[in-house]
Amino acid sequence: MARTMFDLTGKVALVTGGAQGLGAAIAASFAVHGATTVVCDIDMEAAVTTARQIINAPQTTGHAEAMTCDVRNDDQVRACVAQTVQQFGRIDVLVNNAGVHRPVDPLDWSQADVEAILAVNLLGSFYMASAVGRVMVKQRSGSIVNMSALGGGIVGLGRAGSIYGITKGGIVSLTRDLAAEWGVHSIRVNALAPGWIRTPMTRALQENAARSTRVLERVPLGRWGEPEDVAGVALFLASDASKYVTGHTIPVDGGAANVLALNDQPTE
């Protein structure tokens, strides 16, 4: 496969939740491959820091720009999209990465907790996809990458995660339906379903030795995923390398969703 299939030179990408974790790794990967990447985050100071780090990285061939946006607010979402188009002329790639997680016991929960998770993970992704979709329909081109998860998007994990799971399952449904709606406009819509990845969101689990060991026992590759593992698949979906791929949710989980490894050693 030609290396140029992954080239994003001349493309404009908007990454929500781009200041840290998966978003920062994805934004950096896009800029390395030539894209102008908008690092969009509710924390403007953190977004500015990440954008500067991307620009100053020796391997960067594109550009990075920081913008602030609370994806829970449709007015802010529309303003962010309009500013991006005004400044750069187009949007070729959207990564709906902004997300939150908190345990919600299905027998003992608060409305505030439920609404907080739904507002960011599900409604925020819809608001941003809709606003960017208007731009991409006019362009008759674009790639949207939504962020689902192993838990909720692919399998049920329990752990007081039912509301989080609703949002990540909803992202899978949103991905399929937008792919069906917008394919006629040459817009591709896919989702990623990361497993256990080293990010600030999973720090508490990483630092709990017993629970971390139990997690890795369920991962055939036997290690935590790194943000760059997810960024590589996001790059694939953003680029022409995946130009005939749409409507799919791709696990990035070390095999956890589909492989049950029972043998300590491979059979001969």
**Which residues are marked as active site?**
164
Rounded to 5°, angle at Cα 173 from 170 and 177: 140
Q: Which of 4, 5, 3, 51 is nearest to 28 (CA)?
A: 51
Q: What is the 3-state secondary structure (H, E, C) of the chain?
A: CCHHHHCCCCCEEEEECCCCHHHHHHHHHHHHCCCEEEEEECCHHHHHHHHHHHHHCCCCCCEEEEEECCCCCHHHHHHHHHHHHHHHCCCCEEEECCCCCCCCECCECCHHHHHHHHHHHHHHHHHHHHHHHHHHHHHCCEEEEEECCHHHHCECCCCCCHHHHHHHHHHHHHHHHHHHHHHHHCEEEEEEEECCECCHHHHHHHHCHHHHHHHHCCCCCCCCECHHHHHHHHHHHHCHHHCCCCCCEEEECCCCCCCCCCCCCCCC
Q: Which of 191, 176, 186 is nearest to 92 (CA)?
A: 186
93 forms bridges with which residues in the sheet? 13, 143
